[in-house]
Chain A
């Protein structure tokens, strides 16, 4: 009896080892296949630029662009510009996020606030608010204040909408159960409503974050000065196309990291939620 069990254990272990190996190989294969697209794009870029079909001005080789990024990094410009852009995007994101959250809660809780803000939000949300940039420059000048204000305004609307939808979407059964078990209003708010609304609110933040970066870089381009957008615009004015492409590579990398970081934070914060088990959709 015990011998038989031992045998089966050994067999299982052997089988397990085999399938683990196979699974690793398969995962590696798929991982490689996943890298293939990006690798082919980069190699294609390099080869195409080297053939001389287009001038160096139109498309500098990827290696030359990487050299330029490296030079920026060694010279320190890259870090200064990145830090400034991130600071502006995140300051605006934080202000817009917090104000948006508060307005959202006010709309949900208070009838007067709903009456006042609802039409403003529903009319303002689909508007391209970047068109107001010249107005904002007129009011706040061309320095950080106006850049951060512009970002905050764009971030505000998706966050408000998501907050209202999130709180309204919390199931009545949950609230009634909590109340019937003797929870006070405060406890219902903090322990039922807020966690229930959090996924939706987070989606709002996730929509707003790339917008914050887009607007920060656009504002830097329009106003000049330091920052990744400003550096790119300057390179473009001096017809320094390597500088322009270096800017794109830097900005793409930063955008990717920031968005990944956000979805990681979401995963950690919402690990109790069923969605954490679902496969990610890009």
Chain B
């Protein structure tokens, strides 16, 4: 408890510095409203239900796109490692699209699916799929050949080998890819909602900022930042638990 307190003191110091800078009017209060004002604005947003309604929309979009990306990305990556023709066919495509700055896809997804949920889900799916694919591919192809041979010699079919040997040995790299994708999904969610959307947390930020209500805007920005942080920490916990067998 005490060590945690000491560890996170710098964050506390930053919060105090924020409060003091704003209270002493070192910068204009519209550019940096005091932290306490931001917190009360956050409580107001929570009470009015705006935060929860928009947050639910955003989380739905993020979760749908992210889950689809994980599913399809894993299948593609393992197929690439398992069958040479798939690899020959897909790897140049992956190589060509992986470095593409994904935010460029925002206008296209809007052209295809409009301003609603569909375009956000498609964007997150497209953006998050390739990191998962690459993680699954690198994990699956580096699985220990001796283990594969032993399993085969003990009479396991190809499917059994895939599920019981290749998949578990691919797991560490795969989960790393998924973690990258998780961070990316939040970035893409916020950017697409800030640029084109009618609801969602990103849209709420843009709307409040355009109206000049800066304290609530800060509150929503901090909420989004916290959600991204919490998602990553939860995933890390899950990852450690899944990989506990690796000792």
Q: A: which residues have CB within 8 A of B?
A: 30, 33-38, 41, 57-58, 115-120, 123, 125-135, 137-139, 210, 213-218, 221-222, 228-229, 232-233, 235-236, 241, 244-245, 247-248, 251-252, 255-256, 258-260, 281-282
Q: Verify A117–B92 contact, CB threshold 8 A.
A: no
Q: Within 8 Å CB of B106, what residues of A?
A: 218, 221
What's the Cα separation between A137 and B205 when bound, in Å? 12
Among B88, B191, B214, the residue within 8 A (CB) of A34 is B88
Q: Which of B154-180 contact A (CB under 8 A)?
A: none
With A217-B104, A218-B191: A38-B111 Cβ-Cβ less than 8 Å: no
CB neighbours of A129 from chain B (8 A): 225
Task: Tell me whether B190 and A131 are in contact (CB under 8 A).
Answer: yes
Q: List B residues at the A interface (Cβ < 8 Å).
A: 6-11, 14, 30-31, 88-108, 110-112, 134, 137-138, 183, 186-187, 189-191, 194-195, 202, 205-206, 209, 214, 217-218, 221, 224-226, 228-229, 231-233
The reply to whether A222 and B228 contact each other, CB–CB distance below 8 Å, is no
**Complex Cα spacing A229 to B105, Å:** 10
Q: How far is the CA of A12 from the CA of B31 in the complex (A)?
A: 78
Separation of A277 and B67 alpha carbons in the complex (Å): 36
Interface of A is mostly: helix
Chain B residue nearest to A129 in the complex (CB): B225
Contacts of B99 in A (CB 8 A): 210, 255-256, 258-260
Residues of B within 8 A of A241 (CB): 111
- Given known A233-B195, A282-B134, contact A126–B92 (CB-CB < 8 A): no
Asked whether A251 lies within 8 Å of B138 as measured between CB atoms, the reply is no
Closest CB-CB distance, B134 to chain A, in whole Å?
Answer: 6
| Nearest-neighbor residue (CB-CB) of B27 within chain A | A139
Residue of A nearest to B214 (CB): A138
Closest to B217 in A: A134
CB contact under 8 A between A214 and B202, given known A128-B183, A134-B221? no
Q: How far is the CA of A102 from the CA of B191 in the complex (A)?
A: 29
A132, B223: Cα distance in complex, Å? 11
A33: which B residues are within 8 A, CB to CB? 88-89
- Interchain CA distance A280-B225 in the complex, whole Å: 35
Known: A131-B205, A255-B99. A247 touches B104 (CB 8 A): yes
Q: Give the residue of B11, B98, B206 whose beta carbon is less than 8 angstroms from that of A134.
A: B206
Q: Compute how far the CA of A59 lies from the CA of B112 in the bound complex, rounded to whole angstroms.
A: 9
Whole-angstrom distance between the alpha carbons of A222 and B202 in the complex? 12
Q: Determine whether the beta carbon of B194 is less than 8 Å from that of A117.
A: no
Chain A residues with CB below 8 A from B104, complex form: 217, 228-229, 232, 247-248, 251-252
Q: Are B232 and A57 in contact (CB under 8 A)?
A: no
Nearest-Cβ distance from residue A253 to partner chain B, whole angstroms: 9
Minimal beta-carbon separation of A87 from chain B (angstroms): 15
Q: How far is the CA of A131 from the CA of B228 in the complex (A)?
A: 10
Whose C-beta in chain A lies nearest to the C-beta of B88? A33
Query: A217-B101, A217-B104 provided; 16 other pairs, C-beta below 8 A?
Result: A33-B88, A34-B88, A119-B8, A126-B183, A128-B225, A131-B190, A131-B205, A131-B221, A132-B221, A134-B206, A134-B221, A214-B101, A221-B191, A247-B107, A251-B101, A259-B98
Contacts of A138 in B (CB 8 A): 30-31, 209, 214
A34: chain B residues at CB < 8 Å are: 88, 91-92
Contacts of A215 in B (CB 8 A): 103
Residues of A with C-beta under 8 A to B93: 37-38, 41
Q: Name the distance in Å between B160's Cβ and chain A's nearest Cβ.
A: 27
Closest residue on chain B to residue A212 by CB atoms: B101
For A123, list chain B residues within 8 Å (CB): 11, 229
B107 close to A236 (CB less than 8 A): yes
Q: In the complex, A35→B97 CA distance in Å?
A: 14
Task: Kindly state the separation between the CA atoms of A259 and B97 in the bound complex, as whole angstroms.
Answer: 11
A-B pairs, 4 with minimum CB distance: A126-B232, A259-B99, A236-B107, A128-B186
Q: Which of B92, B100, B111, B190 is A35 in contact with, Cβ under 8 Å?
A: B92
Is B195 within 8 A of A36, CB to CB?
A: no
- A126 and B229: CB pair below 8 A? yes
**Closest B residue by C-beta to A139:** B31
Q: Which of B14, B94, B217, B218 contacts A282 (CB 8 A)?
A: B94
CB pair A120 B14 closer than 8 Å? yes
How far apart are the CA atoms of A131 and B206 in the complex, in Å? Answer: 10
